[in-house]
A and B are shown apart, each in its own frame.
Chain A
Amino acid sequence: MKLYAYCLIEGIDSLPVPLKGVSGANVRLLKVGTFSLLVSDFPGDAVPVNRDNALAHAATVGSFLDQTTPLPFRFGTLVTEKQLESFVTARRDALQAKLDLVRGCVEMSVKIIQTANENGDPPAKAEAPEKPGTAFLAEKRREILNKESRAVEAKKIAGWLEDRLAEVVRETRINANPTEKLLLAAAHLVERSCVEQYRETLKELRLERPELHFLFSGPWAPYSFANIDLEFQFGVS
Chain B
Amino acid sequence: MSSPFDQVIITETGEQLDESELSLLETLDHVLNRGLVIAGEITISVADIDLIFLGLNVLLSSVETAHDVLRRHEANGE
Contact = CB atoms under 8 A, between A and B. Distances in A.
Interface of A: 5, 7-8, 45-51, 54-55, 57-58, 61-62, 65-66, 71-79, 83-84, 87, 98, 106-107, 109, 111, 113, 175, 179-182, 185, 187, 192, 195-196, 206, 212-220, 223-224, 226-230, 232-234
B17 to A, nearest CB: 9
Contacts of A212: 12
B12 to A, nearest CB: 4
Given A45-B43, A182-B61, A65 B30 contact: no
B49 to A, nearest CB: 5
Interface of B: 3-5, 7-12, 22-24, 26-49, 51, 58-61, 64, 69, 72
Contact of A214 (B12, B24, B38): B12
Q: Do most interface residues of chain B lie in helix, strand or loop, or is the interface mixed?
A: mixed
A interface, by DSSP: helix, strand, loop or mixed?
mixed
Contacts of B28: 54
A199 to B, nearest CB: 8
Contacts of B40: 233
A72 B42 CA distance: 13
Given A66-B3, A113-B60, 13 more contacts: A48-B45, A54-B27, A54-B28, A74-B33, A75-B31, A77-B37, A78-B41, A83-B38, A179-B59, A218-B7, A227-B37, A229-B37, A234-B72
B9 A215 contact: yes
Contact of A228 (B7, B36, B45): B36
A7 B72 CA distance: 23
In the A-B complex, the 5 residue pairs with the closest CB atoms: A74-B35, A223-B34, A76-B44, A75-B31, A213-B12
Contacts of A76: 42-44
